[in-house]
Protein backbone atom coordinates (compact mmCIF):
# COMPACT_ATOMS: atom_id res chain seq x y z
CA UNK A 1 0.00 0.00 0.00
CA UNK A 2 2.77 2.40 0.94
CA UNK A 3 4.77 1.45 -2.16
CA UNK A 4 1.74 2.11 -4.39
CA UNK A 5 1.21 5.45 -2.62
CA UNK A 6 4.88 6.33 -3.18
CA UNK A 7 4.51 5.40 -6.84
CA UNK A 8 1.43 7.62 -7.10
CA UNK A 9 3.26 10.56 -5.60
CA UNK A 10 6.66 10.16 -7.25
CA UNK A 11 5.63 8.77 -10.66
CA UNK A 12 6.72 10.94 -13.57
CA UNK A 13 3.46 11.07 -15.51
CA UNK A 14 0.08 11.98 -14.09
CA UNK A 15 -1.47 8.90 -15.66
CA UNK A 16 0.93 6.65 -13.75
CA UNK A 17 0.11 8.61 -10.59
CA UNK A 18 -3.58 7.89 -11.17
CA UNK A 19 -2.86 4.19 -11.70
CA UNK A 20 -0.82 4.19 -8.48
CA UNK A 21 -3.76 5.71 -6.64
CA UNK A 22 -6.09 3.04 -8.06
CA UNK A 23 -3.69 0.30 -6.93
CA UNK A 24 -3.61 1.86 -3.44
CA UNK A 25 -7.41 1.81 -3.40
CA UNK A 26 -7.49 -1.81 -4.52
CA UNK A 27 -5.09 -2.83 -1.75
CA UNK A 28 -7.17 -0.92 0.81
CA UNK A 29 -10.22 -2.78 -0.52
CA UNK A 30 -8.54 -6.13 0.17
CA UNK A 31 -7.62 -4.97 3.68
CA UNK A 32 -11.21 -3.86 4.30
CA UNK A 33 -12.51 -7.30 3.26
CA UNK A 34 -10.01 -8.95 5.56
CA UNK A 35 -11.02 -6.65 8.43
CA UNK A 36 -14.68 -7.63 8.21
CA UNK A 37 -16.09 -4.60 6.39
CA UNK A 38 -17.37 -5.98 3.07
CA UNK A 39 -19.88 -3.22 2.27
CA UNK A 40 -17.33 -0.45 2.73
CA UNK A 41 -14.88 -2.51 0.66
CA UNK A 42 -17.36 -2.78 -2.21
CA UNK A 43 -17.91 0.99 -2.07
CA UNK A 44 -14.16 1.59 -2.03
CA UNK A 45 -13.59 -0.72 -4.99
CA UNK A 46 -16.41 0.58 -7.17
CA UNK A 47 -16.19 4.26 -6.32
CA UNK A 48 -12.58 4.99 -5.39
CA UNK A 49 -10.86 2.51 -7.67
CA UNK A 50 -13.30 2.91 -10.55
CA UNK A 51 -15.07 6.25 -10.60
CA UNK A 52 -12.28 8.44 -9.25
CA UNK A 53 -9.77 6.89 -11.67
CA UNK A 54 -12.15 7.65 -14.54
CA UNK A 55 -12.54 11.24 -13.29
CA UNK A 56 -8.76 11.67 -13.12
CA UNK A 57 -8.10 10.09 -16.51
CA UNK A 58 -10.78 12.23 -18.20
CA UNK A 59 -9.36 15.36 -16.55
CA UNK A 60 -5.84 14.48 -17.69
CA UNK A 61 -7.08 13.74 -21.21
CA UNK A 62 -8.77 17.16 -21.38
CA UNK A 63 -5.54 18.97 -20.56
CA UNK A 64 -2.76 19.60 -23.05
CA UNK A 65 0.25 17.27 -22.83
CA UNK A 66 3.66 18.85 -22.19
CA UNK A 67 6.38 19.03 -24.81
CA UNK A 68 9.53 16.93 -24.43
CA UNK A 69 11.59 19.90 -23.24
CA UNK A 70 9.02 20.81 -20.62
CA UNK A 71 8.85 17.19 -19.44
CA UNK A 72 12.65 17.01 -19.00
CA UNK A 73 12.80 20.37 -17.20
CA UNK A 74 9.90 19.48 -14.93
CA UNK A 75 11.21 16.02 -14.12
CA UNK A 76 14.59 17.46 -13.00
CA UNK A 77 12.83 19.97 -10.80
CA UNK A 78 10.47 17.32 -9.43
CA UNK A 79 13.29 14.91 -8.64
CA UNK A 80 14.88 17.63 -6.50
CA UNK A 81 11.70 18.31 -4.57
CA UNK A 82 10.44 14.73 -4.22
CA UNK A 83 13.89 13.28 -3.49
CA UNK A 84 13.35 14.03 0.18
CA UNK A 85 10.14 11.97 0.38
CA UNK A 86 11.83 8.54 0.87
CA UNK A 87 14.04 10.16 3.53
CA UNK A 88 10.96 11.61 5.24
CA UNK A 89 9.31 8.18 5.15
CA UNK A 90 12.38 6.47 6.63
CA UNK A 91 12.62 9.10 9.39
CA UNK A 92 8.90 8.68 10.15
CA UNK A 93 9.34 4.89 10.29
CA UNK A 94 12.24 5.20 12.73
CA UNK A 95 10.31 7.64 14.92
CA UNK A 96 7.26 5.38 14.93
CA UNK A 97 9.40 2.37 15.81
CA UNK A 98 11.02 4.22 18.69
CA UNK A 99 7.74 5.42 20.19
CA UNK A 100 6.62 3.05 22.89
CA UNK A 101 2.86 3.01 23.30
CA UNK A 102 1.61 1.32 26.41
CA UNK A 103 -1.32 -1.02 26.11
CA UNK A 104 -3.73 0.74 28.41
CA UNK A 105 -6.45 1.86 26.02
CA UNK A 106 -9.80 1.14 27.60
CA UNK A 107 -12.53 0.47 25.06
CA UNK A 108 -16.10 0.72 26.34
CA UNK A 109 -18.12 -2.45 25.82
CA UNK A 110 -20.40 -2.68 22.82
CA UNK A 111 -23.85 -1.86 24.13
CA UNK A 112 -25.84 -1.45 20.92
CA UNK A 113 -26.88 -4.71 19.36
CA UNK A 114 -26.89 -3.35 15.80
CA UNK A 115 -24.51 -5.37 13.69
CA UNK A 116 -26.20 -4.87 10.33
CA UNK A 117 -24.77 -1.98 8.31
CA UNK A 118 -28.03 -1.25 6.51
CA UNK A 119 -29.92 -0.98 9.77
CA UNK A 120 -27.18 1.25 11.15
CA UNK A 121 -27.27 3.53 8.10
CA UNK A 122 -31.02 3.86 7.69
CA UNK A 123 -32.15 3.74 11.34
CA UNK A 124 -29.33 5.13 13.46
CA UNK A 125 -27.40 7.48 11.19
CA UNK A 126 -30.23 8.99 9.19
CA UNK A 127 -28.73 12.45 9.37
CA UNK A 128 -25.62 11.13 7.60
CA UNK A 129 -27.78 9.85 4.76
CA UNK A 130 -29.52 13.22 4.51
CA UNK A 131 -26.12 14.95 4.42
CA UNK A 132 -24.87 12.55 1.75
CA UNK A 133 -27.86 13.31 -0.46
CA UNK A 134 -27.29 17.06 -0.10
CA UNK A 135 -23.55 16.70 -0.79
CA UNK A 136 -24.21 14.60 -3.90
CA UNK A 137 -26.72 17.14 -5.25
CA UNK A 138 -24.38 20.07 -4.56
CA UNK A 139 -21.43 18.20 -6.11
CA UNK A 140 -23.41 17.27 -9.20
CA UNK A 141 -24.60 20.88 -9.61
CA UNK A 142 -21.04 22.16 -9.14
CA UNK A 143 -19.63 19.83 -11.78
CA UNK A 144 -22.47 20.66 -14.18
CA UNK A 145 -21.87 24.40 -13.72
CA UNK A 146 -18.13 24.01 -14.27
CA UNK A 147 -18.60 22.06 -17.49
CA UNK A 148 -21.46 24.34 -18.61
CA UNK A 149 -19.21 27.40 -18.31
CA UNK A 150 -16.60 25.59 -20.33
CA UNK A 151 -19.08 24.98 -23.12
CA UNK A 152 -20.19 28.63 -23.03
CA UNK A 153 -16.56 29.70 -23.36
CA UNK A 154 -16.19 27.59 -26.45
CA UNK A 155 -19.07 29.46 -28.12
CA UNK B 1 -8.88 -4.17 23.81
CA UNK B 2 -6.92 -7.41 23.82
CA UNK B 3 -3.19 -7.52 23.31
CA UNK B 4 -3.57 -9.12 19.88
CA UNK B 5 -6.01 -6.41 18.73
CA UNK B 6 -3.70 -3.72 20.05
CA UNK B 7 -0.76 -5.20 18.13
CA UNK B 8 -2.90 -5.31 14.97
CA UNK B 9 -3.87 -1.67 15.52
CA UNK B 10 -0.21 -0.67 15.91
CA UNK B 11 0.84 -2.57 12.79
CA UNK B 12 -1.87 -1.02 10.66
CA UNK B 13 -1.27 2.36 12.30
CA UNK B 14 2.37 2.27 11.20
CA UNK B 15 1.45 1.90 7.52
CA UNK B 16 -1.45 4.35 7.81
CA UNK B 17 0.88 7.03 9.18
CA UNK B 18 3.34 6.38 6.32
CA UNK B 19 0.56 6.75 3.75
CA UNK B 20 -0.59 9.93 5.47
CA UNK B 21 2.96 11.37 5.40
CA UNK B 22 3.19 10.47 1.70
CA UNK B 23 -0.03 12.35 0.88
CA UNK B 24 0.83 15.33 3.07
CA UNK B 25 4.28 15.66 1.49
CA UNK B 26 2.69 15.48 -1.96
CA UNK B 27 0.26 18.32 -1.17
CA UNK B 28 2.98 20.51 0.36
CA UNK B 29 5.66 19.99 -2.28
CA UNK B 30 3.87 19.54 -5.61
CA UNK B 31 3.14 22.37 -8.01
CA UNK B 32 0.70 20.43 -10.15
CA UNK B 33 -2.97 20.75 -9.28
CA UNK B 34 -3.92 17.20 -10.27
CA UNK B 35 -1.07 15.76 -8.22
CA UNK B 36 -2.26 17.83 -5.26
CA UNK B 37 -5.66 16.15 -5.59
CA UNK B 38 -3.87 12.78 -5.66
CA UNK B 39 -2.19 13.75 -2.37
CA UNK B 40 -5.54 14.70 -0.89
CA UNK B 41 -6.92 11.32 -1.96
CA UNK B 42 -4.08 9.55 -0.17
CA UNK B 43 -4.85 11.47 3.02
CA UNK B 44 -8.50 10.46 2.82
CA UNK B 45 -7.58 6.83 2.14
CA UNK B 46 -5.33 6.74 5.20
CA UNK B 47 -8.17 8.15 7.33
CA UNK B 48 -10.63 5.63 5.85
CA UNK B 49 -8.39 2.68 6.59
CA UNK B 50 -7.79 3.94 10.13
CA UNK B 51 -11.55 4.07 10.67
CA UNK B 52 -11.97 0.48 9.46
CA UNK B 53 -9.13 -0.78 11.67
CA UNK B 54 -10.59 0.98 14.71
CA UNK B 55 -13.99 -0.56 13.95
CA UNK B 56 -12.40 -4.01 13.72
CA UNK B 57 -10.46 -3.83 16.98
CA UNK B 58 -13.35 -2.32 18.94
CA UNK B 59 -16.01 -4.61 17.47
CA UNK B 60 -18.09 -1.82 15.92
CA UNK B 61 -17.75 -2.65 12.25
CA UNK B 62 -21.34 -1.69 11.40
CA UNK B 63 -20.92 1.84 12.73
CA UNK B 64 -17.54 2.37 11.10
CA UNK B 65 -18.73 0.98 7.77
CA UNK B 66 -21.63 3.46 7.79
CA UNK B 67 -19.20 6.29 8.49
CA UNK B 68 -16.71 5.11 5.88
CA UNK B 69 -19.46 5.04 3.24
CA UNK B 70 -20.24 8.66 4.14
CA UNK B 71 -16.54 9.52 3.82
CA UNK B 72 -16.34 7.83 0.41
CA UNK B 73 -19.38 9.74 -0.90
CA UNK B 74 -17.90 13.07 0.25
CA UNK B 75 -14.51 12.07 -1.18
CA UNK B 76 -15.98 11.47 -4.62
CA UNK B 77 -17.84 14.78 -4.68
CA UNK B 78 -14.74 16.67 -3.52
CA UNK B 79 -12.57 14.95 -6.13
CA UNK B 80 -15.00 15.56 -8.99
CA UNK B 81 -15.39 19.23 -8.06
CA UNK B 82 -11.63 19.67 -7.61
CA UNK B 83 -11.00 18.06 -10.99
CA UNK B 84 -13.52 20.45 -12.57
CA UNK B 85 -11.81 23.42 -10.93
CA UNK B 86 -8.41 22.16 -12.14
CA UNK B 87 -9.82 22.00 -15.67
CA UNK B 88 -11.11 25.57 -15.41
CA UNK B 89 -7.71 26.71 -14.15
CA UNK B 90 -6.07 24.96 -17.07
CA UNK B 91 -8.36 26.73 -19.53
CA UNK B 92 -7.55 30.11 -17.98
CA UNK B 93 -3.79 29.72 -17.62
CA UNK B 94 -2.93 26.98 -20.15
CA UNK B 95 -1.12 25.27 -17.29
CA UNK B 96 -1.78 23.27 -14.13
CA UNK B 97 1.15 24.91 -12.36
CA UNK B 98 0.02 26.55 -9.14
CA UNK B 99 2.73 29.24 -9.48
CA UNK B 100 0.87 30.59 -12.49
CA UNK B 101 -2.27 31.19 -10.47
CA UNK B 102 -1.45 34.85 -10.03
CA UNK B 103 -4.18 36.28 -12.18
CA UNK B 104 -6.94 35.64 -9.68
CA UNK B 105 -9.15 38.52 -8.67
CA UNK B 106 -9.24 39.53 -5.04
Residue range A33-57, pLDDT digits in tens: 999 889 999 989 998 888 899 888 8
Listing DSSP states for B11-60 in one string gives: HHHHHHHHHHHHHHHHHHH--BHHHHHHHHHHHHHHHHHHHHHHHHHHT-
Averaged pLDDT score across all residues of chain B: 87
Separation CA B81–CA A143 (nearest Å): 6
pLDDT for A155 equals 55
Question: Quick check: B65 pLDDT over 60?
Answer: yes
CA dist A128 to A49, A113, A114, A121, Å?
Answer: 23, 20, 17, 8
Facing A5 at nearest CB: one of B19, B67, B96: B19
Distance from CA of B39 to the nearest CA of A (A): 7
> With an 8 Å Cβ cutoff, is A123 touching chain B?
no
Q: Is residue A48 less than 8 Å (CB to CB) from chain B?
A: yes
CA distance A77 to A83: 10
Q: How far apart are CA B60 and CA B68, in angstroms?
A: 12
A36 touches chain B (CB under 8 A): yes
Give me the residue from B68, B77, B91 closest to A139, CB to CB: B77
Q: pLDDT by residue (tens digit) across B43-56? A: 999 999 999 999 99
Residue A1 DSSP class? -
Among A126-130, B32-36, B77-81, the range scoring the smallest mean pLDDT is: A126-130
How much is the pLDDT for A112? 63
Beta bridge partners of B32: B97
Residues of A in contact with B49 (CB under 8 A): 28, 31-32
Question: How does residue B98 score in pLDDT terms, banded at 50, 70 and 90?
Answer: confident
**Other Cβ atoms within 10 Å of B41 Cβ, number:** 25
For residue A150, is pLDDT > 60?
no
**Exposure b/e, A70-101, CB count within 10 A at least 16 = b:** eeeeeeeebeeebeebeeebeebbeebeeeee
CA atoms within 13 A on the CB side of A73: 5
Which residues of chain A lie closer than 8 angstroms to B96, CB-CB? Answer: 63
Tell me whether residues B76 and A103 touch, CB distance under 8 A.
no
Higher per-residue pLDDT: A75 or A122: A122
Question: What value of ipTM does the predicted structure carry?
Answer: 0.89
Per-residue pLDDT tens for A88-126? Answer: 888 888 888 888 777 777 777 776 667 787 887 888 888
Of A11, A16, A10, the closest CA to residue A82 belongs to A10
What pLDDT sits at residue B37?
Answer: 93
pLDDT score of A154: 58
Mean model confidence pLDDT for chain A: 82
Task: Yes or no: say if B70 and B28 are a contact pair by the CB < 8 Å rule.
Answer: no
Contact B37, B23 (CB under 8 A): no
- Does any CB of chain B come closer than 8 Å to the CB of residue A91? no
How many angstroms separate the CA of residue A128 from the nearest CA in chain B? 7
Q: Does A81 touch chain B (CB under 8 A)?
A: yes
User: Is the pLDDT confidence value at B69 over 60?
Assistant: yes
Note the pTM of the prediction, 2 decimals: 0.86
Shortest distance between the Cα of B73 and any Cα of chain A, in A, equals: 7
Amino acid sequence: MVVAALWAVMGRSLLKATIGLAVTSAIITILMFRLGSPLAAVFELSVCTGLITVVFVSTISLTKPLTNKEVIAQSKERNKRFGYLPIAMIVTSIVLTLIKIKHNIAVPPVTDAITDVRQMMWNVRQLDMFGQIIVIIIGALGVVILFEERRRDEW
Amino acid sequence: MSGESFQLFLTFGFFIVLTFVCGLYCIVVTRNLIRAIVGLELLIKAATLLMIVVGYVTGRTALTQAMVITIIVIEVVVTATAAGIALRVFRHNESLDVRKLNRLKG
